[in-house]
Amino acid sequence: MSSNSSSQKGFIDSAIEVARKFGFDGIDLDWEYPQTQDEMVNFGLLIHQWRAEVEKEADATCRPPLLLSAATYFVVDFFYSDVYRSYPVGLVSENLDWINAMCYDYYGSWDTSTTGAHAALYDPKSNVSTSYGLRSWIKAGFPGKKLIMGLPLYGRSWELKDPMAHGVGAPAVGLGPGELGIMTYSEVEKFNGETNATVVYDSATISMYSVAGTSWIGYDDVRSMTVKILFAQALGLRGYYF
């Protein structure tokens, strides 16, 4: 066994020990994100090693094996990245109890030129959407019963170029209210009340946005969340997480 393999095994054993000590149900892995196809291959090997050690510990202690999950990109492949790569679906399905698809942060502070529905269920102009991402996993052979849809409890804000042009995708010139243009749902509600903001449900993306002057915030509320959860149920997903 190489020194890297030994150190990795030691880390896994330590994580399992901590999970057992504190009565956790399992362990969630979070690699954001493998940057090349070689790293995707390594990701598959990594979760295979984790599964082997989890099963080995369960056999040795006569206890049910810890659950093993991982946070992943919203879509099965990085189709619009400079470096195309895709997840090893077979190994992910074989070795993980489920994946937590990160269906949010499609837009944010890295692009202040336009507003965006950062967790859009649909996008009529591109494939950057929750519906496309989750369906891509299933189309690639990943079982829906192992797929968890991520939902954000925060919004992202921009400063509008023209307060009269305030739809999703409207021209912007910078970040809006909140630290780095991020606001929790309670902060959005407070903003709406204090500024008497105009609140709009965008049926094209299944998202909400609030606008007051040049301040624009895209987020989800009860209405849009309900539609997303119904979508998850119709798709046969295992569930959703915040």
Distance in angstroms (rounded) separating the CA atoms of residues 112 and 211: 16
Q: Which residues pair with 148 in a beta bridge?
A: 100, 239
202 vs 72, 117, 121, 160, CA distance in Å?
Answer: 27, 9, 11, 17
Distance in angstroms (rounded) separating the CA atoms of residues 98 and 70: 7
**Is residue 63 exposed (0-12), middle (13-18) or buried (19+ Cβ within 10 Å)?**
exposed
Distance in angstroms (rounded) separating the CA atoms of residues 204 and 173: 24
Q: Are 113 and 172 in contact (CB under 8 A)?
A: yes
Single out the catalytic residue among 32, 94, 159, 194.
32
Distance in angstroms (rounded) separating the CA atoms of residues 74 and 126: 14
Q: Are 175 and 128 in contact (CB under 8 A)?
A: no
Give the residue among 158, 152, 146 at the shortest CA–CA distance from 224.
Answer: 152
Distance in angstroms (rounded) separating the CA atoms of residues 121 and 133: 9
Active site residue 187: no
Residues involved in catalysis: 32
